[in-house]
């Protein structure tokens, strides 16, 4: 009887909303999936301004109000702070690079955004 209760408790833990019954690796995957659920998949051309007088063409893969995931054509070493400008709308966001994986970057928007292309003298 006690064994049945333990099995029931274990199964209940696994199906509950709380990921507490999961391994650290599984919990991290759940958190990652949850973070990406609110992102809207898009495929929009843009530019990343590096603040060193240079810009790099990219494609915005998904976006939400807090940030974006971009793919660059080639290997570039982006600085920690960049400006992302969408080609079609010319809306720009100052952003912090929060993760890097080969040619993809996760950008977290900072407080300030501009409605036109930023000049390289504007603060990052």
Q: Give the residue carrying structure tokens 């080639």.
A: 74
Predicted confidence at residue 117, as pLDDT, reads 46
Residue 24, token pair as written in the block: 């650290």
116 within 8 A of 92, measured Cβ to Cβ: yes
The strand pair at 92-101 and 67-72 is best described as unpaired
Flag whether pLDDT at 122 surpasses 50.
no
Residue boundaries of the structural domains of the chain: 2-37, 40-114
Token pair 């912090």: residue: 96
Kindly report, residue by residue over 11-48, the tens digit of the pLDDT. 545 544 444 444 565 555 545 555 555 889 999 999 99
CATH 3.50.50.60 assigned to 40-114: no
**C-alpha span between 93 and 21 (Å, rounded):** 39
Phi and psi, residue 123, nearest 5°: -65, 145
Across the chain, mean pLDDT equals: 76
Q: Cα(55)–Cα(42) distance, rounded to whole angstroms?
A: 21
- Chain position carrying tokens 């993760």: 99
> Can you give the pTM of this predicted structure?
0.63
């Amino acid at each position: 009887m006690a064994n049945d209760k333990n099995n029931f408790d274990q199964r209940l833990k696994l199906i509950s909303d709380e990921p507490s019954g999961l391994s650290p690796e599984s919990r991290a995957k759940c958190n990652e999936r949850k973070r990406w659920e609110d992102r809207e998949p898009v495929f929009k051309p843009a530019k990343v301004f590096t603040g060193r007088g240079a810009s790099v063409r990219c494609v915005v893969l998904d976006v939400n109000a807090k940030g974006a995931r971009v793919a660059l054509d080639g290997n570039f070493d982006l600085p920690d702070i960049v400006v992302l400008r969408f080609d079609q709308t010319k809306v720009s966001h100052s952003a912090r690079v929060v993760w890097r994986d080969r040619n993809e970057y996760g950008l977290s928007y900072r407080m300030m955004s501009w409605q036109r292309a930023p000049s390289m003298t504007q603060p990052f």
